[in-house]
Structure 1
């Protein structure tokens, strides 16, 4: 606690409780002290960073700090999914601490006690300290409150003291990181020549003609791609195909869903409760004791009621409505009170006709169309059918129905029309709003009546017998599937099962496709199963219970860190290689054609297109009408007007470009301003690029899967 001791030597005190909550928050910071044990056995090693082993105990201590920070911030224990994210956070903190500390040591970077004191009560106050001790009324930072807080720290609760110790421990690493990053940021520069070239690229425009033969005009089936060609492409572009460890699996899920018998059992219970509910002496207590959902004593307007209950309006006090079945739940509702509410509610349908422009003519045309539709409805046409045919907003699928809504939720003109109506029915004229013209039908006129409703809701849950049946089905599949081939055969013969594939699962994955909380499945794929034996390709898993389903998987592939193999990227790379082969064919045929772009296109055939692109900007690399074509744009600006390029391979096909005119910027470049812009852009990227570079060279080995 060097910082506290230094401050105590220099200052006097009183209590400033404002920072306590913030200090607890700081427990989750990105920079944590601690040293790894270099003597733990390999069975206790969580990973390795820059040659330094990370033992389980040290990592778990960092994880526990992250967990306690989460509890302090959220006021609850983290669930398993959240724990997965906290483990990642703790691992990144560990990686940062070890890998970056070695860089700090190489440069001899240190942080003195005077610097730490300066961050709390000097001229360079830490942002969290400044925020905590700034008066929200005056906006003034009060340094004396910091001193008062620290002088009385040993009298505060142990949790608060520990929180500050962790905050203090973070200050040193954070200042070191700032020094290191500032060194790198200050090493970035932009020359005057770079600034001029950048400005010219952003402000140079060209009008271009081009000939394009898209790759899709040659069928994929006519161009064969071999594995050798795919491998050669990967070898030539290794930087694009670097991968981390990965596993591929196939799996099936057997959901545990309530059966018809389960539903009937719950319905019988609800029917019995309905009879009891009618004569219950205390409705709120009855609901609290018998409902799966918490009791809500609020008065509800029709806009806030369940649709089943809303359809029974007006409701009677003392009457039980239901049971209603919806979304796997049986519901009973007893009306226990009624009163006039503060806001009115109404229900309406509409057909919105939007003007096709902003001119008076467009507005008049929309009004005329709305009036015509309104007259058809008055003549007997079905409102909902007309809404589906002519409506121009999201209510067309519901026949224009807006449902119930309270006053204050719609635009003023619309609300004035709806809440001004005294009865249900079609309004006599279209209503104009900022959206267009509305044909409105009042489904239920405004009411201020609200109801207090006691609800008893029972979720239809699968019984133990249903769960056992699903488990037995999963075990039967497990018994038939001993390897990949038998797994696929067993799944294929059961039409109720659907096989799903998951490729390239990372070590730290918490979910598998849509399977949330599937960490145990990922750990199995990486070789950590109950038997303690490594998982091999072709192995079939045990039966996992994940959420409300049983899961069985088979390992179909392994990928090690490095450059991707052919199998893992074959579809993607095959498409690129196929385009290269198509380009060779197209270029050969185009090269034999002579004359203008039109003559070349005619000689090639109907698949060659000649088009014009105006105002092509050099700095964007975009060719209007085609898309991202940086090579084509670059070639166009390198040509003289009237000159055309040779055929070349582009992103979307083979192109020949011809410059029509090139316009260079006429306004002199403000070199200073452009340099500042580019410097800011590069500096903003420095932190992330630095982290990734150091991580890459730290030779990180992540073995957390052994434990979590």
Structure 2
């Protein structure tokens, strides 16, 4: 955020920039087109299956997605939503260019009947069910889907409501195709009897072993010097294990912006003055609209009030100014001017729904008997919430049957509404209520009430003032100006203990986060800019309620894997290789020393002799070495009484001696193990299919340079 003083200082530059911008706007595409000033260089946000995704095309799809989102949600898309929409647009392009080829090759389509059924038929899509389920009752009614679709289709063609509905339909149909494709792949998975037998034996066959173990940590790391040449040789020999990725690493300082004491005092004074002005305002509702940071209704029912206001309103008198009441960082003052009676009543209730298992008369009779028995228990003093959680068969069960507030406006089915609003006071309804959904045991928790309270509310949110933001920005800007290198930043942080130098390592391309800090795209975009070199220090970035100054400390590339990309991991690997050579050389000279105990004694410090019984291949654990598949394999691969030569394991060097082997008992049927293995295969197949398709499409994602 630029400061007013800086704008004034640079006003000449600003005027020039504005003038150039106006010229470009007037001339338009003649300058910026394919033959314009920039030589027609096309900017791409990515490539999928040989298709270039142009920045302008991606932006058009993103704009459309935003319109569709706002049509569906009724809310403006904030930064977080925009980030999600960018991801959705990208995934849609993946489906269109990569997955659709697979769908077409297999002839996968959706019939007209299926498209209708998932919205209005017998097998409703979960997303449709969730979108059209009453949040108060947890009840889904397909008639609401039909009514809404009818209303939307009656609107002018191309309206935002129609765009939103079309996007909703398209996304659900696309998801069904994806699910069908993945399920088709899953159906092709199988496990042979030989594989099932191998799994069975791995879980059941057992071995008792004794072993000598010299862990790598018994040799100090400082005694093994690893050279860059060794690291490079190891990397070249294990290329398949170290895949490249486009990442960046940063060190950064975050200057947090929080309300100051002056801001709190200013808000207090503002609220005090607002309370005085509200009290004497001749048009208090207009005053509230002009001065409140949060919109509020003019008339409130009890369901509109939070607990603080609901408790206080009982003692209000006309003309009273109350507050401020605090909710998080929002402070609200209220002016109460009286009540009126509404044509609709509001009530709060809970219920326990008992559904019949089917539509038969006997099932309905059984459900009614069960509901009546529960009602008897409740009349005897049983806890309603506990009984609802135990017996309820709809979404309200998990919250003790609570339906919240509702009105007699048809939001509930007729028999339910008639019973509740025909009841006076609070407590259990005396009889079970039958509806099309089943049998309801109902408890009115707040009596019906049609009072509407005229309460004028003015809310103000406590936040950092512009002066506070400017002061923090000045500190961040001064820090960036004074520290032009990572070394400078480190020295400044050591000198000033209020500064904390944070690290964000291997940030993936396209990330929106900086550690736990969200909406950090500007910082990530700077880090991935081709002009940003390792060691560069950034300008000041505003991220949420903080100003960030960052230094680029490292780069990795998917096309060029370097030692520095995996230096710590490679160093540990090479160091352990060297330790293994040293240990095995020493143990090799002691191989004829007799028992494992005598070998360990002659080896000296670091050598352990341990025993382990009933080891299995799939879950065997050694006492000090833990799960070491190489050691387990050796134990199972030798005959009882055999002793191995020294060999390298995961965490050290072993000499393994097999004492006893218990083979898996023969069984006639491996179905149980075959089913278990198949389930694991099915769980993995969807992921592997997705990875294979994306690899085959040779996806290149450059979005981090744009968004």
For the aligned pair, the TM-score class normalised by the smaller chain equals 0.5 to 0.7
Q: Pick from 117, 128, 133 the counterpart of residue 112 of structure 2.
A: 117
Which residue matches 2:473? 471
**Contact 2:587 2:603 (8 Å CA) reproduced:** yes
Of the candidates 523, 526, 530, which is equivalent to residue 525 of structure 2?
523
Indicate the residue corresponding to 1:194 in structure 2.
Answer: 195
SS of the residue aligned with 2:642? coil
| Residue correspondence of structure 1 range 356-395 to structure 2 within 5 A | none
Give 1:608-687 correspondences, 5 Å limit: 608-620=607-619, 622-623=621-622, 626-687=625-686
1:207 aligns with 2:208: yes
1:247-266 equivalent positions in 2, closer than 5 A = 247-266=248-267
- Work out whether residues 118 and 124 of structure 2, in 8 Å CA contact, stay in contact via their aligned partners in 1: no
8 Å CA contact 1:621–1:631 kept in 2: the answer is no
1:568 to 558, 565, 569: 565
- Post-superposition offset of 1:147: 12
> In the alignment, is the contact (CA less than 8 A) between 1:223 and 1:581 conserved in 2?
yes
Assess, with a 3 A threshold, how the Cα gap between structure 1 residues 69 and 215 changes in structure 2: closer, same or farther: farther
Superposed CA deviations along residues 307-351 of structure 1, whole A, max 9, x for unmatched, are xxx9xxxx9999999999999888999999xxxxx9xxxxxxxxx
User: Conserved in 2, the CA contact under 8 Å of 1:154 and 1:161?
Assistant: yes
CA distances 1:412-447 after superposition (whole Å, capped 9, x unpaired): xxxxxxxxxxxxxxxxxxxxxxxxxxxxxxxxxxxx
Name the CA shift for 1:70/1:585 in 2 (closer, same or farther; >3 Å): farther
Q: Separation in 1 of the partners of 2:81 and 2:562?
A: 33
Query: TM-score, normalised to structure 2's length?
Result: 0.63
Correspondence for 2:97: 98
Q: Structure 1 pair 146/460, CA: closer, same or farther in 2 (3 Å)? A: closer
Over 3 Å counting, the alpha-carbon distance change for 1:142 and 1:226 in structure 2 is same
Cα distance per residue 1:111-133 (max 9 Å; x no partner):
57xx6235347xxx658854349
Q: 2:545 aligns with which of 516, 525, 548?
A: 548
Aligned to 1:584: 581
Shift of 1:269: 5.3
Structure 1 residues 654 and 165 mapped into 2: Cα distance closer, same or farther (>3 Å)? same
Counterpart of 2:358?
none
* Residues 322 and 335 in structure 2, CA contact (< 8 A), matched pair in contact too: yes
Q: What value does the CA root-mean-square deviation take over the aligned residues?
A: 5.2
What's the secondary structure of 2:42's corresponding residue? helix
Instruction: Tell me the residue number matched to 2:45.
Output: 46
Question: 1:46, 1:707 within 8 Å by CA — same for their partners in 2?
Answer: yes
Q: Give the unaligned 5+ runs of structure 1.
A: 1-37, 337-341, 343-406, 411-451, 529-533
Cα distance in 1 for partners of 2:169, 2:288 equals 51
Q: What aligned pairs does 1:378-457 form with structure 2 within 5 A after superposition?
A: none
Helix, strand or coil: the match of 1:47?
strand
Q: Residue deviations 1:223-257, cap 9 Å, x none?
A: 11222222222222222221321112222122223
Q: Secondary structure at the match of 1:209?
A: strand
Q: Structure 1 residue 613: deviation in Å?
A: 2.1
Structure 1 residues 199 and 480: alpha-carbon distance in aligned structure 2, compared to 1, 3 A threshold: same
Report Cα offsets for 1:533-578 as digits up to 9, x if no partner.
x223333222111122211122222221145321122122212222
Q: Which residue of 2 aligns with 1:229?
A: 230
What runs of 5+ residues in structure 2 fail to find an aligned partner? Answer: 1-33, 134-139, 338-347, 349-382, 387-452
The corresponding residue for 2:123 is 131
Q: Compute the displacement of 1:489 (Å).
A: 4.3
Q: Aligned pair in 2 of structure 1 residues 625, 75: CA closer, same or farther (>3 Å)?
A: farther
CA-CA distance at 1:522 after TM superposition: 0.9
Give the CA deviation at 1:71.
4.0
Instruction: Write the distance in 2 (CA, Å) between the matches of 1:558 and 1:213.
Output: 38
Taking a change above 3 Å as real, the CA distance of residues 150 and 561 of structure 1, as seen in their structure-2 partners, is same
Q: Distance in 1 between matches of 2:82 and 2:184?
A: 35
Distance 2:551 2:80 in 1: 23
Question: Is 2:519 aligned against 1:512?
Answer: no
- Tell me the CA shift for residue 510 of structure 1: 0.7
How many residue pairs were aligned?
Answer: 540
Aligned pairs for 1:233-312 within 5 A: 233-266=234-267
In 2, Cα distance between equivalents of 1:221 and 1:335: 76
1:336-389 CA deviation, whole Å, 9 max, x = no partner? Answer: 9xxxxx9xxxxxxxxxxxxxxxxxxxxxxxxxxxxxxxxxxxxxxxxxxxxxxx
Q: 2:462 & 2:52 partners in 1: Cα distance?
A: 51
Give the Cα–Cα distance (whole angstroms) in 2 for the partners of residues 334 and 169 of structure 1: 48
Return closer, same or farther for 1:176/1:327 CA change in 2, 3 Å cut-off.
closer
Q: Report the CA distance shift for 1:83/1:299 in structure 2 as closer, same or farther (over 3 A).
A: closer
The alpha-carbon distance between structure 1 residues 156 and 475, as it changes in their structure 2 partners (threshold 3 A), is closer
Deviations 1:452-483 (A, max 9, x none): 99999876543333322222222222222334
- With over 3 angstroms needed to count, the CA separation of the structure-2 counterparts of 1:671 and 1:328, relative to structure 1, is closer
Matched residues in 1 for 2:628 and 2:212: separation?
A: 13
SS at 1:82's partner residue?
Answer: helix
- Verify the 8 A CA contact 1:206 1:637 in the aligned structure 2: yes
Could you tell me whether the CA contact under 8 Å between 2:120 and 2:142 is conserved in 1? no
Instruction: Specify the alignment match of 2:606 in structure 1.
Output: 607
Distance in 2 between residues matched to 1:299 and 1:286, nearest whole Å: 23
Q: How far is 1:83 from its partner?
A: 1.6
Q: Residue 590 and residue 509 in structure 1: after superposition, are their counterparts in 2 closer, same or farther (change >3 A)?
A: same
CA distance in 2, matches of 1:635, 1:702: 45
Change in 2 beyond 3 A, CA 1:192/1:540: same
SS of the residue 2:555 aligns to = strand
